[in-house]
Amino acid sequence: SSQTKDAVVGETMRALQKHGLTPQNIQNTPHEKLNQLLNKVGFHNNKTKYIKEATSILLSTYNADIPPTADEMMKLPGVGPKMAYIIESVAFNTTTGIGVDTHMHRMFNQLKWVNNAKTPEQTREQLEGWLPRDYWAEVNVLWVGFGQETQQQKEKALRKAFACSRPVEALGLYKKVGMDIKKEAKRFGLEEEVTRVMCGGDGVSKK
């Protein structure tokens, strides 16, 4: 859910898995109970409705499995291009599109990889227009993780930059996607490490 923090989504998914996350069990679960399991997620009333409708289709049309193509998945209630392309790639090892989430949409605009895209779907269309198809399957996993860390786990991201083979370039990339390096370094007591990286250990700034 784009309106819900990743940690809350994870917590909700674990609760659903504990409850029994199969089409038949979800179909047998009372609407009120399912809605309760989803109540921490944004638009949970709509999601409860969509999940109920989707499981009914999976049971009647796909033998309790999921459709094998992104196009068919997008016909299910509540399933958009992002999740359809990701599932297609992970579950069927087939990639016909790039799953673009809000993290990727924001970052690719900041990096000027797309031209003033207004929505994740516009970002996807522009990205697919120039990125070689061989890289499509890797983009989501790589950049969603990067976006989560630079937004929600900034100390971890900074320490990764310090430890990598090209720390100056890594910090430069963080700046391009909106991280205030000085502010976050001060917040986590990492000012000396930033200075060391940017000066290359010789007191001369490499900026």
Catalytic residues: 82
Q: What is the DSSP letter of 39?
A: T
The confidence score (pLDDT) of residue 144 equals 87
Cβ neighbours, 10 Å, residue 50 = 15
The whole-model pTM stands at 0.84
The confidence score (pLDDT) of residue 17 equals 97
The confidence score (pLDDT) of residue 202 equals 44
The confidence score (pLDDT) of residue 6 equals 82
- Burial readout 19-45 (b: 16 or more C-beta within 10 A, e: otherwise): eeeebeebbebeeeebbebbeebeebe
Per-residue pLDDT of the chain (207 residues; tens, 9 = 90+): 667 888 899 999 999 999 999 999 999 999 999 999 999 999 999 999 999 999 999 999 999 999 999 999 999 999 999 999 999 999 999 999 999 988 899 999 999 999 999 999 999 999 999 999 999 999 988 998 899 899 889 999 999 999 999 999 999 999 999 999 999 999 999 999 999 998 875 444 455
The confidence score (pLDDT) of residue 7 equals 86
Residue with tokens 């409705």: 49
The answer to whether 114 and 123 are in contact (CB under 8 A) is yes
Taken in order 108, 110, 116, 120, is the CA torsion positive or negative? Answer: positive
